[in-house]
Homo-oligomer: A and B are copies of this chain.
Amino acid sequence: MKIAIAQLNYHIGNFDGNLSKMLQSIDEAKAGGADMICFSELATCGYPPRDFLEFNDFINEAEATIQKLASAAQDIAVIVGSPTRNPLVEGKDLYNSAYFLYEGKVKAIRHKALLPTYDVFDEYRYFEPAITFETIDFMGKKIALTVCEDIWNIGNENPLYTVCPMDELITQEPDFMINISASPFNYNNPSGRRHIVLSNVKRYEIPMFYINHCGAQTELIFDGGSLVVSGNGQVYDELPFFEECIRFYDLAEVLKGHRNIDRPKKKIEMIHKALLMGVGDYFGKLGFQKAILGLSGGIDSAVTAVIAAQALGSENVRVILMPSQFSSDHSVNDARKLAENLGIQYDIIPIEEIYQSYSEILKPHFWGHSFDITEENIQARIRGMLLMAFSNKFGHIVLNTSNKSEMAVGYGTLYGDMCGGLSVLGDLYKMEVFELARSMNRDSEVIPWNIIEKPPSAELRPDQKDSDSLPDYEILDKVLFEYIENRKGPKEIIDMGYEETLVRRILRLVNINEFKRHQTAPVLRISPKAFGMGRRMPIVGKYLS
């Protein structure tokens, strides 16, 4: 049996687009002599469709797509994910299903049993879990077909679920496993995913074909990296990351298992590629070409500009340098030099005059009050407004340049530097932004080294440094990581050796600034716990605040 696996970049709700991609792959698979082709989870409608699943019309479209795929499944079997309706009156209305299409018909449907409902996942919101399990017969072989999370409930110290679908399926003695997934990237996931696939193969001693989705859907970046693992636990093949790809396998060869592919991955390079795909797909799928951002001379906007230029092309990126009376000469020079290195259009628009017009008009109302955060925010908001004006006039999307450290503690101005349609670096702590910047300069100076080496400053008042109001990023980032990624409480963090006053101050800042993060752009997710849909916090609360 010859099996094709297609790791494709779908688009939520774009039924025609997804269908034509799959039809093209089916043609390719047929031409390549494949007996079967496998697509990923919810490939008809894209993943995650979120509340579109509550629309009958949307499910109808998915069903129509399945019918069209079934018609194309002549002389080739097609495995594809799509939502199905639950025929029972009790329980949720839908299943998250894997279709087996063959001879022009729907031959079998298998439902997902383990429905991730944590972090960025909401599957129990929509789907009823499968409670029966059955292999599929094809060309004299028995296939154990599962959907994504179904293979993840093994080898965990603290399993989330009380069932394990493969434990059920293995009793029917399948010859191999197919898992269709939509498993989003975080920097731990390529190795975590590999570990899970290998654990399954080790436990059940049969090969697995693991087909992942590839492409970004707003904040979630699906990295691909599909796997073929032989029954002896050797990685027979690994598909590329962040790229569409179709490949063919002779089942007999995979069963033999004489290959072992092992490609080490560098964390910062994976993050870099993820951000490129995140930006590229956000624009591409929304039908935009051009990005604009403010270049301050600081490291965050510099790294964002590099990502934008690499993802969209230099000709599609425009930057505005908006110095105020507090901006240092080196900031403007550094920013200009970066723009020149990248070959992107830049303009310098000083904001002092507009700032003065606000000052004038507010003077009678603010009489007797001294310069404070208000005036700092006015500067940041003038810059946000100018960027939005260009965006409105010329059809750019404004890229947000905030990093995770400052978003965490609220060191940013709502509607000012926190504005933008997409947050590129909002899931990278400041120290990770530095690491990424240095890695960008590995071969030659893309980002002027001075930008990387000077002390971070918002330049919103004379001689300001971030370290005036924030702890050193080395410490801040570590405390934030323990609180945000590891969900440690204050006592646990203090017990690790961090100073109590500092820890309580940082945790308080994180919690009282939830209102700001509520109003920010979607954040490209590269960590196991990003701000946004995967971290749901009350705004009104009184816990560590």
| Contact code string A296-316 (vs B, CB < 8 Å = 1, else 0) | 000000000000000000000
Cβ distance A514 to chain B, nearest Cβ, rounded Å: 9
Partner of A520, one of B381, B490, B519, B542: B519
> Which of A's residues lie within 8 Å of B, judged by CB?
11-15, 17, 46, 48-52, 54-58, 60-61, 89-93, 117-118, 122, 124-125, 157-162, 216-218, 281-282, 285-286, 347, 349, 353-354, 356-358, 360-362, 365-366, 369, 372-374, 377-378, 381-382, 384-386, 388-390, 392-393, 414-415, 419, 421, 487-492, 515, 518-522, 533, 535-545
User: Is B357 within 8 A of A48, CB to CB?
Assistant: no
User: CB-nearest residue of chain B relative to A126?
Assistant: B118
User: CB-nearest residue of chain B relative to A520?
Assistant: B519
Q: Please, which residues of chain B bring their CB within 8 A of the CB of A365? A: 347, 349, 390
Q: Please, which residues of chain B bring their CB within 8 A of the CB of A55? A: 487-489
User: Is B415 within 8 A of A393, CB to CB?
Assistant: no
Q: How many copies does the complex hold?
A: 2
Can you spell out 19 A-B residue pairs with CB atoms less than 8 angstroms apart?
Answer: A12-B543, A46-B538, A51-B535, A55-B488, A56-B487, A56-B492, A57-B491, A89-B157, A122-B536, A281-B540, A282-B540, A349-B365, A354-B354, A356-B357, A361-B386, A374-B389, A378-B385, A385-B385, A518-B522
Q: Please, which residues of chain B bring their CB within 8 A of the CB of A15? A: 543
Cβ distance A426 to chain B, nearest Cβ, rounded Å: 13
User: Is A161 within 8 A of B90, CB to CB?
Assistant: yes
User: Is B46 within 8 A of A541, CB to CB?
Assistant: yes
Cα distance, A93 to B156, chains bound together (Å): 13
Partner of A542, one of B13, B158, B216: B13
Q: Please, which residues of chain B bring their CB within 8 A of the CB of A12? A: 538, 540-543
Q: Please, which residues of chain B bring their CB within 8 A of the CB of A362? A: 386, 389
Partner of A89, one of B52, B91, B159, B545: B159
Cβ distance A410 to chain B, nearest Cβ, rounded Å: 13
